[in-house]
Amino acid sequence: MNARRTTDLRLQDAPAHAALVERLRTAGCVFAEDEADLLLATGTAPDELERMVQQRVRGVPLEQILGWAEFGGLRIAVAPGVFVPRRRTELMLSQALMLAPPQPVVVELCCGSAALALALASTLPQVELYATDIDPAAVRCARGNLAGISGLAGVLLGDLYEPLPDSLAGRVDLLLANAPYVPSGSIRLMPPEARLYEPRLALDGGLDGLDVLRRIVAGAKRWLAPGGRLIVETSRSQTPASVAAFECHGLTARIVTSDELDATVVIGWPARPGSRDNRSGAGH
């Protein structure tokens, strides 16, 4: 009799947890034991569990299978085809919380599932919150996540600033954007779960990865309140070009990094006329 591959075994052929861990490990899942625990806790019926495992073996992101991702201590609903929140973006969250004034006006561009907006609104007692995305699937997901949030002014469909009301100009205290920043030529090198199951427009940042970031920076001064801050996520290798984009559009830039999260953000604000202090530096 020919031996079957582990990935061909159904769960009832062996004790559930051990069989599932081995199956996921064979499929290339690095955190097979943790994923097995989550799948077993979610798929309570055998047929449901088997369907979920088959999806994961094919490379579907675990978060899309479960229907949620953990971010900032919260469970964020994630719909199929919507960008999955990454833990590294918690650096943006911590910086935004540190910089938030009382009763802040917050805008999240490229919001995806609105994980960042939801985590902020769940922590800040009084907030006026807007979120935008160009992808209708992301907007639907974000509206579901933010439903019932006190202070929510709108989850708007459109390209970056385009759907924002003119009344917001000069009033935004925190302007947040985890925009796509993967260079187009590097998309093919990404893990299958991102490359095949997340929308390309949420990943592809153009030739050097910074096309969308530059557009965000170019329009930021119109929307920022006095003392307001623009916070964007980028990669360490893209930091010099990101800072150059800030300075090109009259924004002072400060770099914050986290080795633990493998994360880099750039924080910017309108430069004072004649000032040469860009306050750049690294922090954790």
Over residues 262-266, mean pLDDT: 97
Over residues 189-196, mean pLDDT: 87
**Top-level CATH class of 87-270?**
alpha beta
Do 140 and 111 form a contact (C-beta atoms < 8 A)?
no
Q: What pLDDT is stored for residue 273 in this prediction?
A: 64
Distances (CA, A) of 261 to 86, 89, 94, 256, 264: 10, 8, 12, 12, 9
Cβ neighbours for 131, distance < 8 A, ≥ 6 positions apart = 107, 108, 111, 114, 117, 142, 146, 154, 155, 156
Q: Is pLDDT at 256 greater than 50 in this prediction? A: yes
**How many CA atoms, within 13 angstroms, populate the side-chain half-sphere of residue 69?**
27
Q: Is pLDDT at 68 greater than 70 in this prediction? A: yes
| pLDDT band, residue 274 (cuts 50/70/90) | low
Q: Is pLDDT at 102 greater than 90 in this prediction? A: yes
Domain ranges of the chain: 6-58, 87-270
Backbone φ and ψ for 71, nearest 5 degrees, come out as -150, 125
Cβ neighbours for 183, distance < 8 A, ≥ 6 positions apart = 205, 206, 207, 208, 209
Q: What pLDDT is stored for residue 1 in this prediction?
A: 37
Over residues 100-113, mean pLDDT: 97
Over residues 147-172, mean pLDDT: 95
Over residues 45-61, mean pLDDT: 86
Residue whose entry in the numeric block shows the structure tokens 């995806």: 112
Q: Is pLDDT at 168 greater than 60 in this prediction? A: yes
Predicted structure pTM score: 0.86
| pLDDT band, residue 279 (cuts 50/70/90) | very low
Do 254 and 268 form a contact (C-beta atoms < 8 A)?
yes
| Percent of all residues in the chain with a pLDDT value above 90, rounded to a whole number | 65
Q: Is pLDDT at 14 greater than 50 in this prediction? A: no
Task: Count CB-CB contacts under 10 A for residue 157.
Answer: 17
Helices (H), 136-190: 136-146
Q: What pLDDT is stored for residue 18 in this prediction?
A: 86
pLDDT digits over 195-233, tens only?
888 889 999 999 999 999 999 999 999 999 999 999 999
Over residues 90-98, mean pLDDT: 98
